[in-house]
C-alpha cells in the first residue's frame, strides 16, 4: 500500500478541522453561524470560479484570484493549517486581499452577481472588507 502525498494528507486534515469546528458550533448552540461556515468555502470556490470567467473582471484581478486560489489550495502555509483557527488565518487574509482587489477592479455588483450563498453573508463579508453597500452608503463598522 502506498502512502498518500503530503498535499492529500494536509487536505484531509484541513477538512477534518473544518468539520470539527462546524460540529462544535452546532453543539454550542450557534446553528446559524455553523451553517454559514459550512457553506462558506464552497461558496467562495464558486465565487472565485465565476469571477475568473467573467469578462467584466480585468486580467490583473483574475491573475490575483488565480494566485490566491493556488495559495489556498497549497498545503504549504505560513502557519500550518492543523493549528486551530490560527492555521487558517493566512488563508483568510489571502482570500480577503484577493477579493478586495477584485471588488476594487470590477465593482461590488460583479461580485454580488457571482455569489451563490446567503446574501447577508456576502454583505457581512463586504462590510468586513469595507466595501460600499448596495445602496451606495458607506459600510457600517463591524
pLDDT, residue 112, reads 92
What's residue 139's pLDDT? 46
Place 9 in a pLDDT band, splitting at 50, 70 and 90.
Answer: low
Instruction: Extract the C-alpha cell encoding 23.
Output: 460540529
Mean pLDDT of the chain: 77
Q: Is residue 45 scored above 70 in pLDDT?
A: yes
Q: How confident is the model at residue 85 (pLDDT cuts 50, 70, 90)?
A: low
What mean pLDDT is predicted for residues 50-75? Answer: 90
Task: Say what the pTM is.
Answer: 0.66
The three cell numbers of residue 45 are 470556490
Residue 81 has a CB neighbour count (10 Å cut-off) of: 21
d(CA 51, CA 58): 10
Residue 138 pLDDT > 90, yes or no? no
Amino acid at each position: 500500500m502506498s502512502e498518500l502525498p503530503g498535499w492529500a494528507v494536509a487536505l484531509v486534515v484541513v477538512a477534518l478541522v473544518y468539520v470539527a469546528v462546524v460540529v462544535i458550533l452546532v453543539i454550542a448552540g450557534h446553528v446559524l453561524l455553523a451553517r454559514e461556515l459550512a457553506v462558506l468555502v464552497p461558496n467562495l470556490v464558486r465565487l472565485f470560479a465565476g469571477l475568473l470567467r467573467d469578462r467584466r473582471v480585468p486580467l490583473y484581478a483574475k491573475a490575483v484570484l488565480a494566485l490566491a486560489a493556488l495559495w489556498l489550495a497549497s498545503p504549504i502555509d505560513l502557519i500550518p493549517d492543523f493549528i486551530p483557527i490560527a492555521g487558517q488565518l493566512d488563508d483568510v487574509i489571502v482570500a480577503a486581499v484577493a477579493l478586495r482587489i477584485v471588488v476594487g477592479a470590477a465593482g461590488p455588483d460583479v461580485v454580488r452577481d457571482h455569489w451563490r450563498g446567503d446574501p447577508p453573508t456576502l454583505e457581512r463579508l463586504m462590510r468586513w472588507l469595507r466595501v460600499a453597500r448596495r445602496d451606495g452608503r458607506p459600510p457600517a463598522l463591524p
